[in-house]
Amino acid sequence: MKISKHKWGEPDRSDPYSTRRQCTRCPTVKVTRKEHPQYWTEFWRDGVRVSVDKTPACEPVRAPQQQEVAHQ
């Protein structure tokens, strides 16, 4: 199984102390905090902070399989 990497979208810099980027493949959000002299990165998924020391795996959301309709 091939592991997918995150593809971060455009940065949202509406907060002067952080930058938010949504993964275009999964619901993970990368938040880079900037509170001088400290800088750190947090990851959020579905409104819950993901507690990890490194970037969490990208788990793409798959569309439901379409059922084939038999034509008579």
Q: Under the phi-then-psi rule, with left for phi > 0, alpha for psi from -120 to 50, and beta for the rest, what region is 47? A: left
Of 5, 44, 45, 55, which Cα lies nearest the Cα of 25? Answer: 5
63 against 66, higher pLDDT: 63
Pairing of strands 28-35, 18-22: antiparallel
Query: Residue 64 — very low, low, confident or very high, per pLDDT cuts 50/70/90?
Result: low
What pLDDT score does 29 carry?
96
Domain segments of the chain as ranges: 1-56
pTM over 0.85: no
Tokens for 54?
């490194």
Q: What is the DSSP letter of 1?
A: -
